[in-house]
Amino acid sequence: MILNQLKDSILEGEAEITYDLTHKALSMGYPAQVILEKGLIAGMNEIADKFRERNVIIPEVLMATRSMHAGLSLLEPHLISSSPNKPGKVIVGTVAGDLHDIGKTLVKTMVMSLRIKVIDLGVDVTPKKFADAVRKEKPEILMISALLTTTMGVMKSIIEEVRQQSPSVKIFVGGAPVTEEFASEIAADYYFENAFEIRDYLKENYDKLFLRKD
């Protein structure tokens, strides 16, 4: 079955095969949400389990994430047009000075798999751009990523600027060099070690986070 093949391509970190199988599944009429959940996410879930059990290492997780990214590049237009979003909105972005997007893309995919609307600001995002986007879009959650030790400090500037204009938004931070202690120092609301933790937390606390009563 093609969805099982797709899942296996994620596990094996074969980005080109993932891309080709995703294209084939779409041409066969599989809905984008089904391909995402039964193929890409199923593969990443298995990688997450293996990672928690220390049966895979970080480079293998990154290869799987790149494969998922390849498939998602085909699915995203279909997901936006065909899958009704639940109430709630999340903005994601990587801080100024940092061009890494694998971790951010994985987080984005995990959030999208819950049918929560995601606005991706991309990489190398300045504090002002974050603040302007939050003011304009009014998300419940802002997720900030930094993959370099040298860019971690930008997170504090982002949080300060965002909170001047949008004090109610919840701010999640993460990335390889980020720690829970650092997140506390810069007054972030939440720190997560990986995208799977974020997905699980959003799933378990969806009502509290998104179904607010104004």
Domains and CATH numbers, the chain: 3-80 (1.10.1240.10), 89-211 (3.40.50.280)
DSSP collapsed to 3 states, 137-178: HCCCEEEEECCCHHHHHHHHHHHHHHHHHCCCCEEEEECCCC
Residue 214's pLDDT is 47
Q: Which residue intervals of the chain are DSSP H helices?
A: 2-11, 15-27, 32-34, 42-52, 58-82, 102-112, 127-137, 152-165, 180-185, 195-204, 206-210
The pTM assigned to this predicted structure is 0.75
Residue 84's pLDDT is 63
Beta bridge partners of 118: 90
Residue 134's pLDDT is 97
The Cα 15–Cα 93 span in angstroms is: 23
The Cα 117–Cα 107 span in angstroms is: 12
DSSP 123: S
Q: What is the pLDDT along the chain (214 residues), one digit of tens a residue?
A: 999 999 999 999 999 999 999 999 999 999 988 998 899 988 988 887 887 788 888 788 878 888 988 998 898 888 766 556 678 999 999 999 999 887 788 788 788 778 888 999 999 999 999 999 999 999 999 999 998 899 999 999 999 999 999 999 999 999 889 999 999 999 999 999 888 789 889 999 999 999 865 4
